[in-house]
Amino acid sequence: MVDSVLQERNNLAYIIEKWTIASVQVIYHLPDHIHILNEFVWQTEDRRPKFPRIGKFLEYWNKNIEGPIKEVYIYDHEKHDIRQIDKRYILN
């Protein structure tokens, strides 16, 4: 009986904090040209819903990288919150 309760709790914790592949899109200002935005995309395995690894990465960015972050988007591949891009534009 006790083993089944512990296993049920472990299963619930696994469902709530499940490992997933997540993409992080960081929109940031260039340090030398603050009015220009740039984009950085990174993909990693992390635990949802809190994404602790991504949180550590963003803390590191804020402390050590000169380009201030404007926006951050996290796309969880298991939830299918991925945005399809049909066109790509290159500016000269």
Look at strands 69-76 and 19-29 and give their pairing.
antiparallel
Domain boundaries, the chain: 18-92
**Structure confidence at residue 48 (pLDDT):** 81
- How far is it, in rounded angstroms, from Cα 66 to Cα 68? 6
Among 75, 82, 66, smallest CA distance to 44 is for 75
pTM over 0.85: no
pLDDT class of 61 with cuts at 50, 70, 90: very high
**Structure confidence at residue 12 (pLDDT):** 57
Whether residue 21 contacts residue 78, with contact meaning beta carbons closer than 8 Å, is answered with yes
- How far is it, in rounded angstroms, from Cα 40 to Cα 46? 18
- pLDDT of 4-56, one tens digit each? 544 555 555 555 667 888 889 999 999 999 999 999 999 999 888 788 999 99
Six-digit token string for 36: 């220009």
